[in-house]
Amino acid sequence: MLLENYTLEIFNSKCQPGVMAVHCFAHLDQDISQVLPYLNTTLGGFEYLVDPPALTLRSQGKLMTLHGRKIAINALKDEQEAQKIVEWLKNEINEAWECRDRIVPCFHGKPKPILIEILKLLPKTNCRKCGQPTCMVFAAQAMEGGYGAENCPELTDPNREKLTTYLSGFDFD
Ligand code: SF4
């Protein structure tokens, strides 16, 4: 077993004091750096940093970042949910570590859409009909999979098709 124990730290967002969600750090008793490239393969992280090693992934509707000695998870309902997800991660970490001889480690994240490629298909009128203040913000959201062509009512039909095709080439899970 690689990861045996951790301590949970739960806190509210200082940036969004009115928001009810909590964030969590799990401070790890063991260093899990070596398992991160294997977890990147098994869990499909979308960002991987080599030095110092850090893996960011989206799973169970949460954004989580794993460092050697710390796991950070955002936008949790409460401490119970944090505990459940950290326990799930602990099992995944230990399973990947035990099976590492049979897993091909991955040292890079998934390719992401390029912001400028999205932006050049948008009308760039900043009309706000999508609920975002500018087309640039819309493009940044679309890069992360939060928005798609269907969310911009101002798109021309050809550009709607191009944007749909472009974004369909990426895996946002
Ligand atoms: S609806 Fe389309 S054109 Fe209007 S701000 Fe949003 S992305 Fe830009």
pLDDT per residue over 6-24, tens digit each? 999 998 866 555 556 889 9
Q: What is the pLDDT of residue 18?
A: 53
Rounded to whole angstroms, the Cα distance separating 73 from 124 reads 34
What fold characterizes domain 115-167? 3-methyladenine DNA Glycosylase II; Chain A, domain 3 (1.10.15)
Which CATH entry fits the domain spanning 6-102: 1.10.10.10, 3.30.310.10, 3.40.50.300, 3.40.50.1980? 3.30.310.10
Distance from the alpha carbon of residue 119 to the mean position of ligand 1, in angstroms: 10
Q: Which amino acid is at 96?
A: A
Tens of pLDDT, residues 65-114: 999 999 999 888 899 999 999 999 999 999 999 999 999 999 988 788 89
Question: Residue 13: what pLDDT?
Answer: 64
Q: Establish whether residue 30 lines the binding site of ligand 1, counting it when its CB lies within 6 angstroms of any ligand atom.
A: no
Beta pairing partners, 27: 7, 70
Distance 102 CA to ligand 1 centre (A): 47
Cis ω on the peptide bond leading into residue 37 (within 30° of 0)? Answer: no
* Ranges of each domain in the chain: 6-102, 115-167
Q: Whose CA is nearest to atom 7 of ligand 1?
A: 135
- At residue 14, the pLDDT reads 61
Work out whether strand 62-67 and strand 6-12 pair parallel, antiparallel, or are unpaired.
unpaired
- What b/e readout covers 75-109, taking b as 16+ CB neighbours within 10 angstroms? bbeeeebbeebbeebbebbbbbbeebeebebbeeb
Spatial distance between the Cα atoms of 122 and 172, rounded to a whole number of angstroms: 20
Ligand 1, atom 2: nearest CA belongs to which residue? 152
